[in-house]
Amino acid sequence: EVQLLESGGDLVQPGGSLRLSCAASGFTFSSYAMTWVRQAPGKGLEWVSAISRSGGISGGPTYYADSVKGRFTLSRDNSKNTLYLQMNSLRAEDTAVYYCARGGGDLAFDLWGQGTMVTVSS
């Protein structure tokens, strides 16, 4: 089955860190750019970050929304079919459901995970 499964959401204090994971299955993960989109409670969708097919430290571009630039780092491990979002210096306004989605600037987001909830509160 083609799917994305997010994990790692939790309650964290302001200033804390969290790492989200997105496990892909049923398709060739390395052939797609990948993206994180978040949705604060009762609010609309906000694009967070995207990574190219070979993106991250090993090469290829990674993109960030201004609201998370310098605090979040997106990476992928194509050998494990997994996408990661390292979130540091978390703020209350980062509280949201975080969705992993297949696609990026070159493609629409045609596959979405069910989301993982991140709550930043003391």
Partner 1 sequence: EIVLTQSPATLSLSPGERATLSCRASQSVGSSLVWYQQKPGQPPRLLIYDASDRATGIPARFSGSGSGTDFTLTINSLEPEDFAVYYCQQRSKWPLTFGGGTKVEIK
Residues that bind partner 1 (CB under 8 A): 35, 37, 44-47, 50, 63-66, 99, 104-110, 112-115
Tell me the closest approach of the beta carbon of residue 70 to partner 1, in angstroms. Answer: 14
Q: How many CB atoms lie within 10 A of CB 57?
A: 9
Tell me the closest approach of the beta carbon of residue 41 to partner 1, in angstroms. Answer: 12
Identify the H or E element spanning 85: strand 82-87
Spatial CB neighbours of 23, under 8 Å, sequence gap ≥ 6: 4, 5, 7, 81, 82
Give the strand pairing for 116-120 and 11-12. Answer: parallel
23/45 with CB nearer partner 1: 45
29/36 with CB nearer partner 1: 36
Tell me the closest approach of the beta carbon of residue 105 to partner 1, in angstroms. Answer: 5
15/105 with CB nearer partner 1: 105
